[in-house]
A and B are shown apart, each in its own frame.
Chain A
Amino acid sequence: MAMELTCLGLGKDQGKWAGPSCHLLQIGGANILLECPLDTTMLHLFLPASDMLVQKRDTLYEARCSKGSDADKKTTKKRPLRRFLDEEDDLDSWFHMEGKCISRSSDASGPLSPEKASQIPLETNLPLHFLRIMDGHVFLDVEPWYKTADFSLVDISSLDVILISSPESMLGLPLLTRSGNFTGKIYATSVTAKLGQLIMEELVCMHAEYIQNFGSSSPEFKPSWLNPPAFQDYPASFKKALVDDDGVGRANWHLLYRKKDIQACMDQIRCVHYDEEISIYDCLCIKASSSGFELGASNWVISGARCLSYFSASDLTSGHSMALNVASHIKSEVFLFSDLKSNNTDGYDEDLTSCSVKGICENKDKDYPVETKSLSGRCCGGVVHDLLEVSKVVLETILFRGSVLVLVNGIGELMETLEVISQALDNSNLSDVPLFFVSPVAEEILVYTNTIPEWLSAERQEKLYAGEALFRHVELLQQGRLHQLSALCSQETVKVWREPCVVFALNWGLRMGPAIPLMLKWRQDPRCLLVMPETGMTRLALAPFQPVQMKVLHYCRRKLGEMEVSAIIEKMKPELFLVPETMKGEFPSLGDSDSRASRNDIVFYNMWDILTIPAPRYTEADMMAEVACTVHPRQLDSGHSVGKVKVRIQQRGGKWLLDLPKLSQESDDALTEKETICWGTVEVTKLMDILQGNGLCCELHSEGHRNNSEHRIVVTTPSPATVELGLQYTIIETNDLVLRKLITDAVRSLLTFI
């Protein structure tokens, strides 16, 4: 009945290679997986799919060779690595696991197109030919694989339930469902499921584009870059990001699923509404409630013996989705927070800069705005938190006849950004600037988002009541200002393309999709602007496109941070709340203000921590009135009323119900009826009185015993019997059953039986 929580991913915005948030919850015997994401930031480790970059690789190679010192630095760095590997890694075991021996020279990364192969410059400094160095960062020049949360030690077949809280966090689902091991149930809100499906389709589509250009690797084997022999040549942090220090993370890498896998996966998802109570095997009850982070995104209340609230990435004030519903967590005792926004950005990019073979960049400055300055040459404010500021910079760019590429992470955010920017253009009489939304699923996304009023913020619901479109994009499409393009290189695009323009696309870390050709087109143009979500990996993201002259602006999504969490805790007062360890430094303020609660109720969790939350000693249950009628209570001197009853225990939706046994069952279980409790002490004299009153001839023998509380009564007539009495025991010894019954009744009358 106790609850056990294992963290499989800390939440990706922690600046470290922690992977997106993912937890395994064991409660009341059921295994619940919270989220099933893909770590899309890992795409940064691969080179973008572009022919143009192949040429660029040559130039870069030359540029790098001119700096002779780079190579030296690398070799010095490599040596300790190799030693580490020799000591720690058992390569043989890896070979056994793979089932086949892999020689280091063989390239299993698959058929590269011959043109490309010929163009690959011989990297003499790097022993592994699939590694590339660009702008001081190491990249894998292979078909991208995808990393799930750390499922390496999770038995997929034992999972009963998967809860998906946002479209982003379901990208890994088809990998789970296609394996065939998973037989549980998947729950997501219908909007999450639909948007998740569209995003997965886009991913598959973009990946297919990559394969079209560069060929694919064989799906049966892990490619050579994922095999231990290669690891030893990876820089430490690069290796850590890929497979962890010990190489265990290797199991989490997968080749992308196909479109039919997505469909099969979607069929297994059960769509829910906000605040719909779903019973799982009757022992648990789960409920989604709005998180405010994305259209249809949810937090979950899981109630069994204990009530746990799981907060995924959440937002108190959302411009698009229904706001975070705190009230629905009122009954929860345990709050689990994940994907929080950390205020300390110290960790940002640190790992990544050290990924660099060159070591540290000339201007190692962790302060973001300055860094973007160094990258782009022109600063435009660095990180902004407000969409209005974004629109201001966009407007400025357009006024200077520059084009804008806006990459966003969520659909809700996309809709909002689109609205804010188009509004800003309107206000400056720039309504003729074309807006493009490029995605293979653009049309579906735009149509679908206009049919989900129940899931939107209160202001947008008012639009429903007024009979207006829910988002402005409907109007923009009708006016011909917004164009939905399924791909950049299409007939349609040629017809409508006009610069300057604003292009919107989903963010795949500048590694896939329309972002690449546009980056190649505009990167040298200092008038142009790139708006992308703040991930702490900008340097890495931009590296293949260097030198970049474009302006870069980071947009930081609103998310729950320490302040908001503290406010929620203050309001809801859960017994216990769990936050990621990365937030540790940020919570003392709460403790100071409220010393009474100082840190009994907060627990920090880290990867692979197993937290056990014991079940309460008493659980509230419902007893049918009919059961209560069958109780014959006995009033005790202590003021208690005690009774014995036979009940049928049932669970319904996580609640216990005590009902009368069915008639048929009653007869089956005659045995349990005899289970009684009794207490008290038999007073010898009273017993003697009763026995003698019943005409028995008996004698009291107390001499052979150690103290006065132990006695022996010997009955001689009508037949021999002995009764041994102690403080807490009575033993009757006789062969006469009638007599035994008589004595038993006598003793019972002196004890309290229930």
Chain B
Amino acid sequence: MIKTLVLGAGHEVGKSCVVLMIGGKTIMFDCGMHMGYHDDRRFPDFSLIPKRGDYTQSIDCIIITHFHLDHIGALPYFTEICGYEGPIFMTYPTKALAPLMLEDYRRVMVDRRGQQEQFSVLQIHDSMKKVTAVDLKQTISLGSDIQFRAYYAGHVLGAAMFHLKVGESTVVYTGDYNMTPDRHLGAAQIDRLKPDLIITESTYATTIRDSKHARERDFLQAVHKCVTNGGKVLIPVFALGRAQELCILLDDYWERMNLKAPIYFSAGLTMQANVYYKLLIAWTNQKVKDTCITRNTFDFKHVSVFDRSQLNAPGPCVLFATPGMLSGGLSLEVFRLWAPFEQNMVVVPGYCVPGTVGYRLVTGKTVTLDADKRIKLEVRCQIHHLSFSAHTDAKGIMDLLRHVSARHVILVHGEKPKMALLRTRIISELGVPCFVPGNGETVEVPSRLVLKVLASEKFLTKSQSNSLQTSIKSKVDDVSAPKRHMEDVSLSSIHDIRSAIIIMDKEKTIQVLNPEEALNVLNVSQHNFLYRCRLPLYISGMNDKDFNAPEVFDRGPTEGNEISGKELMKPSKKCCRGIQEFSGFQQQYDLEDKDAENELIWAERKEQENELELEDKGAENERIWAEHKEQEGIPHSVLEAMVQTVYKHLVKQLGDIVCYKQDNCIVANSVCIKISSEKTQSGTENKAQYIFTCTWSGQDEELARQIISILHMMQIASQASA
């Protein structure tokens, strides 16, 4: 069972934190804080985590998807104040950029708002020291049971989705992701992992967004117009992510339109962030990577650092100020100054958490805001809401779910009514169970169970030959097929149906074996359970003409039959020998010789069989049998001629089933026809009585009947011709 305890982001956007309990292991995904609360609710309620001693013992590892505060904000609190000391994993960019994010937040809270700090600078750094950085697709093993791997998620630099495997249970946790590439990031990429459970964000559970291009154009035009009218544009952003994308956009636009109005970044912090972006260029999209040798996209030409003295300076400008959502700090300060003037503009990019000024601006129609308890503020400036969030829309969520094809879905990180709608859609369109747990709730879903067994080499290799053919085919397909990066590349078509003998010994070790091997392991030998039938038949006309018509091999074998023929080769050999041993053969021949000869013929036949696969089967068959005939010499006795005739007839009639002749016996699968002659009292030269002794095992009942009826037909035919 996979138990999912949602500590945060259940029915809300903020403080993402999901705890998974699988097979005695506990893994925490994300450790975020809520930007809208300033009380206890800002952090996830860690006390709900099932206890096994302290937090370090209770949790095996923490995996952080990206550096946004609602995904990482509570980490220093959890490690430094709650005392978690176990492993923490995040991607390289997240590890590099998270301290900037946390420090920015801390400063805003303490310096500007005058709140008591939740954690200190030192604690942020101590916390980050415990982090192990991972690369995309890198498979990390933690102990023998836990394995996980990061996939590119778009959203922000270094954002990742994680595929987690504990024992045989698999879970995909998406974090935040974006299915469409933006100015600096690529789209999310993940394999068709078919996990037991997927936990996905659903920020835009019902929104279908139009083309991003149009939104970009509107934004640029709005800013342009405002600036030409001498207005000031305030863009409240978080230091990382959206800021860089909009900067690329504006810098590029400024360059093209030859605009002179200054673009400011509110603090050295964001400029510093650009240094990181330059180092981490490998995590951006292909276009940025390609141009980085000639010009690094993050070397902005028109962007400079903002100085507080410029706050009241006249003239137009564009200012990126932290934090986003106007939740405090410089951005709110500037907002208060600029908002009362009509020519100014506030661009609110992306999502705003309820409880922030930004949220009220975007949703509320009120122009009066009590941004502070004492001051009433009249908002007269233009407000441009830019749906520029790097979250995927409803279509993207559905596409991802369809592609990953999980067996259960849990939605988090969204608004309750929209999530409910999406849930209905998932259940109806994808037909998988979908859960929308709230904070503190636990969801249990079943996981795949797999037993570890020991399969014998022989058992497996029998299917290996087939798998190779498949691999050759898949190789050809691969070359011709266009690249489908979201498609399932690995073909799971390599399979084979086999019946296996499963043996569990006293030590509870389970072996999967071939029947022959099973007998050996059990130290018993096969009991041959056979049926016999004696047919006294009169067959005349020793001349081959009757039966050896030229169209002997006209019956073209079909694909499937060929394989079934091959499949039956081995048992036929085994049974045949058994039959020969027990049907009175040993009285005439030395058994050991027989065996050796058998083996020889067997090897020879195998070789020929291989050839057969390559060349036209019919013609080849004839050639081989002809060779056989030569080797065996021209029949010198009547009996042998008879065997030869019957044999040819049978080959013709049975077609797909491989049969061969040995001395006075004809063998097809487990059916052995022994021919002996017996002169009747009234017999003439060319009318002799033969006794056909057919022996077969139960599995070849049908074949035996077929053969017997063929033999009867021969008798009738020969009588007719006589």
A-chain residues with CB within 8 Å of residue B139 when the two chains form the complex:
275-277, 287
Which chain B residue has the least Cβ–Cβ distance from A680?
Answer: B527
Do residues B491 and A282 form an inter-chain contact, with CB atoms below 8 A? yes
Indicate the member of A620, A641, A681 with the most B CB atoms within 10 Å: A641
A625 touches which one: B137, B275, B450 (CB < 8 A)? Answer: B450
- Given A623-B453, A633-B502, A731-B695: A1 and B461 within 8 A (CB)? yes
Q: Does A74 contact B (CB under 8 A)?
A: no
Q: Quick one: which of A461, A636, A649, A673 contacts B463, CB cutoff 8 A?
A: A649
Min CB distance, A559 to chain B, in Å? Answer: 25
Q: B502–A28 contact, CB under 8 A?
A: no
Known contacts: A29-B468, A452-B282, A623-B450. The answer to whether A640 contacts B500 by CB under 8 A is: no
For the complex, is B662 an interface residue (Cβ under 8 Å from A)? no
* B461 proximity list for chain A (CB < 8 A): 1, 615
Contact of B519 with A618 in the complex, beta carbons under 8 Å? no
0/1 per residue, B472-502, Cβ < 8 Å to A? 0011000100000000001110111111111
Residues of B within 8 A of A733 (CB): 531-534
A732 touches B532 (CB 8 A): yes
Would A29 and B492 be within 8 Å (CB), given that A624-B448, A641-B504, A731-B583 are in contact? no
Cβ B502 vs Cβ A631 within 8 A: yes
Residues of chain B lying within 8 A (CB to CB) of residue A754: 501, 518
Contacts A282-B490, A621-B460 given; indicate if A274 touches B135 (C-beta within 8 A): yes
**Residue B630 at the chain A interface, CB threshold 8 Å:** no
Give the number of chain B interface residues (Cβ < 8 Å). Answer: 93
- Residue B128 contacts which of A465, A469, A672 (CB distance < 8 angstroms)? A465
A650 contacts B492, C-beta separation under 8 Å: yes
8 Å CB contacts to A: which residues of B653-707? 695, 698-699
Asked if A237 lies at the interface with its beta carbon under 8 angstroms from chain B, I say no
Which listed residue, B133, B460, B471, B522, touches A30 by the CB 8 Å rule?
Answer: B471
Question: B460 contacts A619, CB within 8 Å?
Answer: yes
Interface contact A621-B454, CB-CB below 8 Å: yes
Q: Which of the candidate stretches A16-24, A122-130, A549-557, A651-659 sits at the interface with the other chain?
A: A651-659
Q: State how many angstroms separate the Cβ of A463 from the closest Cβ of chain B.
A: 8
A333: shortest Cβ distance to chain B, in Å? 14
Minimum CB–CB distance for A38 against chain B, Å: 25
A444 contacts the other chain (CB 8 A): yes
> Given the complex of chains A and B, what is the CA–CA distance between A28 and B292 in angstroms?
42
Any A CB within 8 A of the CB of B92? yes
Q: Which residues of A contact B501 (CB under 8 A)?
A: 642-644, 677, 754
A572 neighbours in B (Cβ, 8 Å): none
Q: Is the CB of B531 within 8 A of A274?
A: no
A668 and B563 CA atoms in complex are apart in Å by 12
Assess the B506–A451 pair: CB atoms within 8 A.
no
The answer to the question of A370 belonging to the interface, with a C-beta cut-off of 8 Å to chain B, is no
- Interface: B432 (CB within 8 A): no
Q: Which residues of A contact B511 (CB under 8 A)?
A: 618
Q: How far is the CA of A282 from the CA of B468 in the complex (A)?
A: 10
C-alpha spacing A658/B450, complex, angstroms = 9
The verdict on B455 contacting chain A, using a C-beta distance below 8 Å, is yes
- Identify the closest chain B residue to A627 (Cβ): B451
Contact at A28–B454, with CB atoms within 8 Å? no
Q: How many residues of A contact B (CB 8 A)?
A: 101
Q: Does A671 reach chain B (CB closer than 8 Å)? A: yes
Q: Which residues of A contact B571 (CB under 8 A)?
A: 675
What residues of chain B lie closer than 8 Å to A652, measured between beta carbons? 490, 492
A679 pairs with B526, CB closer than 8 A = yes
- A451-505 residues at the B interface, CB under 8 angstroms: 451-454, 461, 464-465, 467, 469-470
Q: Once the chains are docked, how many angstroms separate the CA of A649 from the CA of B578?
A: 29
Q: Count A-B pairs with CB separation below 8 Å.
A: 285
Contact A633 B499 (CB under 8 A): no
Q: Say if the beta carbon of B467 comes within 8 Å of chain A.
A: yes
With the chains together, A666 CA to B140 CA distance in Å?
39
Interface string of B158-197 (1 = CB under 8 A from A): 0000000000100000000000000000000000000000
Contact A620:B452 (CB < 8 A) given known A453-B280, A648-B496: yes
Q: Is B548 an interface residue (CB 8 A)?
A: no
| Given A618-B511, A625-B448, A733-B531; A642-B698 close (CB under 8 Å) | no
Q: Is the CB of B499 within 8 A of A623?
A: no
A623:B522 contact, CB within 8 angstroms = no
Is residue A676 within 8 Å, beta carbon to beta carbon, of the partner chain?
yes
> What residues of chain B lie closer than 8 Å to A622, measured between beta carbons?
168, 450-453
B531, A731: Cβ atoms under 8 Å? yes
Shortest Cβ distance from residue A321 to the other chain B in the assembled complex, whole angstroms: 14
Chain-B contact segment, one of A148-156, A171-179, A722-730: A722-730
A347 within 8 A of B: no
Nearest chain B residue, comparing its CB with the CB of A276: B137
Chain A residues with CB under 8 A of B276: 464, 467
Chain B 576-603: CB-based contact to A (< 8 A → 1; otherwise 0): 0010011100000000000000000000
Q: CB distance A645 to B502 under 8 Å?
A: yes
CA distance A658 to B497 in the complex (A): 10
B504 adjacent to A676 (CB under 8 Å): no
B457 touches A617 (CB 8 A): yes
- Which residue of the partner chain B has the closest CB to A642? B503
* A275, B456: Cβ atoms closer than 8 Å: no
Distance, CA A467 to CA B275, complexed state (A): 6
Question: Smallest CB-CB separation from A674: which chain B residue?
Answer: B699
Contact B498 A647 (CB under 8 A): yes
CA distance A618 to B280 in the complex (A): 46
Query: Is A279 in contact with chain B by the CB < 8 A criterion?
Result: yes
Does A451 lie within 8 Å of B527, measured CB to CB? no
Please give, as numbers and ranges, the residues of chain A lying within 8 Å of B468 by CB-CB distance.
29
Task: Say yes or no: is A669 at the interface (Cβ < 8 Å to chain B).
Answer: yes
How many Å lie between the Cα of A676 and that of B138 in the bound state?
A: 46
Nearest to A448 among chain B residues (CB) is B293
Residues of A within 8 A of B581 (CB): 729
- What chain B residues lie within 8 Å of A467 (beta carbons)? 96, 272, 275-276, 279
Q: Which residues of B contact A731 (CB under 8 A)?
A: 530-532, 582-583, 695
The answer to whether B135 and A454 touch across the interface, beta carbons within 8 angstroms, is yes
Is the CB–CB distance between B279 and A470 below 8 Å?
yes
- Point out the residues of chain A lying under 8 angstroms from B529, CB to CB: 678, 729-730, 744, 747-748, 751
B136: Cβ under 8 A from any A Cβ: yes
Which residues on B sit within 8 Å (CB–CB) of A645? 499-500, 502
Residue A586 at the chain B interface, CB threshold 8 Å: no
* Given A642-B503, A671-B564, A732-B530, A451-B512 contact (CB < 8 Å): no
CB-based contact B454/A618 at 8 Å: yes
Residues of B within 8 A of A641 (CB): 503-504
Give the docked Cα–Cα distance between A461 and B132 (Å): 11
- The CA-CA distance from A461 to B525 in the complex, in Å, is 65
Q: Is the CB of B279 within 8 A of A674?
A: no
CA gap between A668 and B492 in the complex, in Å: 20
Chain B residue numbers with a CB within 8 Å of A680 are 524, 527
Which residues of chain B are near A644, meaning CB under 8 Å? 499-502
How far apart are the CA atoms of A651 and B455 in the complex, in Å?
13
Complex CA gap A752/B461 in Å reads 28
A183-B475, A450-B279, A640-B522 given; A273·B137 CB < 8 A: yes
Give the complex CA separation of A467 and B531 in angstroms.
84
Closest B residue to A644 by beta carbon equals: B501
Bound-state CA distance A470–B276 (Å) is 11
Scan A154-173; emit 1 where CB is below 8 A from any B CB, else 0: 00000010000000000000
C-alpha spacing A563/B464, complex, angstroms:
40
Name the residue on A nearest B507 (C-beta): A639
From A276, A281, A646, give the contact of B474 (CB < 8 A).
A281
Q: How far is the CA of A659 from the CA of B139 in the complex (A)?
A: 25
CA distance A299 to B512 in the complex (A): 34
Residue of B nearest to A616 (CB): B457
* Assembly CA distance A679 to B529 (angstroms): 10
A/B interface sample: 8 pairs, CB < 8 A: A1-B457, A273-B138, A275-B140, A623-B453, A638-B522, A652-B492, A677-B518, A724-B582
Q: Which 8 A-B pairs have the closest CB atoms?
A: A625-B449, A674-B699, A281-B471, A276-B137, A679-B524, A621-B455, A618-B454, A733-B532
With A622-B168, A669-B497 given, name 6 new contacts (CB 8 A): A623-B512, A649-B463, A668-B497, A729-B529, A733-B531, A754-B518
